[in-house]
Amino acid sequence: MVKTRICMISDTHTSTPNPPHKTDNAYRSPLPKANILLHAGDLTKVGYRVENEAMIEMLKDADAELKLVIAGNHDITLDEEYFTSFGYNRHLQPENLGGESILLYDDHIDENRQPSTEQLQSYARSIKDLWTCEAARKAGIVYLEEGVHSFTLSTGASFTVYASPYQPEFCRWAFAYERDEDRYNPGLAVNPIPDFPNVDILLTHGPPLGILDQVPPDMNVGCEHLLRAAGRAKPRIHLFGHIHEGWGAQRGVWGGDGLKLEDVPTDIEDMLENRSAYYDLSEEAGRPLRFGDETLFVNASINTVRYEARNAPWVVDLELPLAGK
């Protein structure tokens, strides 16, 4: 096993880390150094080219060997089918996003003319190219489509990720599915989540039902099918975002009588000093993670519900298998 450090963020919505001198904000430059950086989607507010470029530059600057990224419902230009059929309208009309009123249009879309499907497809694909081009790959950035992906670090640590940018339908945004649709379990799912022990990290934009997914007034809005799939997979870590109010981490213990959750404590002063909320699950910790019996659930939404980029990234140490073992 190889001790590995993972830095986790989500829902940046084009907010880059605050300057280093802003010591009253844990989300500040530089992002914590790690072996792996995970971003659980909603990179942007509405998928403009300039937004995607800003997020790529931020990730290029991050000190991590491997930077794994998925999209979220606000990254509308990365969902080609959605963008070409409806989503492009969000670039053509005024809309209020996070308290900031802006005119949504982009350099390749003329707000005075109806764009053709071919133009919209070409534009969406050009945005995807930003994330998948050689320059991004050389910077360690890997954009993940829905499904299973395996990686080996220079340390020899080997791990498998199941990634999905989807979440239950929400106000007609991108990467959505109806609540009665099961995307994650064997049956009709195209890319079901594998059973234990075949997933080390579950990386989804939306949360599972009942875990760091509560919105006022006391409503849980996560996905019940994703929760069931997580119970089959029992990953080491399940990272998500989407619900800004749910920032935090919970340690889940799988048992015959269901999943028991306990909150991971945080200290404001430590987070401000270290630019992150830290949790040690390695063999050196007093209570290392028991793979197959426990999962660390993390909602790493950087933005608050008021779209203020104030929440701390999460940093976790844990053991990953050595390649070939």
Q: Where are the domains of the chain?
A: 2-320
CB atoms under 10 Å from CB of 161, counted, come to 23
Give the C-alpha distances (Å, rounded to integers) separating 105 from 44, 53, 87: 14, 16, 12
CA geometry: angle 262, 200, 291, nearest 5 deg = 55
The answer to whether 263 touches 248, Cβ cutoff 8 Å, is yes
Token pair for 20: 């280093």
Q: Which of 122-126, 193-197, 244-248 has the lowest mean pLDDT?
A: 122-126
Give the model's pLDDT for residue 324. Answer: 79
Instruction: Using the structure block, give the residue that is written with the tokens 């809309």.
Output: 95
| CA dist., res. 56 & res. 184, Å (int) | 29
Q: pLDDT tens digit string along 125-172? A: 999 999 999 999 999 999 999 999 999 999 999 999 999 999 999 899
Instruction: Write the class of the CATH domain 2-320.
Output: alpha beta
The answer to whether 232 touches 162, Cβ cutoff 8 Å, is no
Q: Which of 8-12, 187-191, 285-289 has the lowest mean pLDDT?
A: 187-191
DSSP code at position 97: E
Mean pLDDT of the chain: 93
DSSP code at position 31: P
Strands, E, within the chain: which ranges? 2-9, 34-39, 64-69, 94-97, 100-103, 141-143, 147-152, 158-164, 167-168, 176-177, 201-204, 214-215, 219-220, 237-240, 248-255, 258-263, 277-280, 294-299, 314-320
Single-letter amino acid, residue 190: V
Single-letter amino acid, residue 70: I
DSSP code at position 206: S
List the helix and strand counts (H, then E) for the chain: 6, 19
Single-letter amino acid, residue 268: I
DSSP code at position 309: B
| CA dist., res. 299 & res. 311, Å (int) | 10
Give the model's pLDDT for residue 90. Answer: 86
Q: pLDDT tens digit string along 193-226? A: 999 999 999 999 999 999 999 999 889 999 999 9
- The stretch 80-109 carries a mean pLDDT of 69
| CA dist., res. 19 & res. 293, Å (int) | 40
Token pair for 73: 């419902």
Q: pTM of the predicted model, to two decimals?
A: 0.95
Give the C-alpha distances (Å, rounded to integers) separating 128 from 122, 138, 176, 205, 210: 10, 16, 18, 18, 32
| CA dist., res. 79 & res. 74, Å (int) | 10
Tally the C-alpha atoms within 13 A of residue 225's C-alpha that lie toward its C-beta.
19
| CA dist., res. 51 & res. 192, Å (int) | 31
The answer to whether 205 touches 191, Cβ cutoff 8 Å, is no
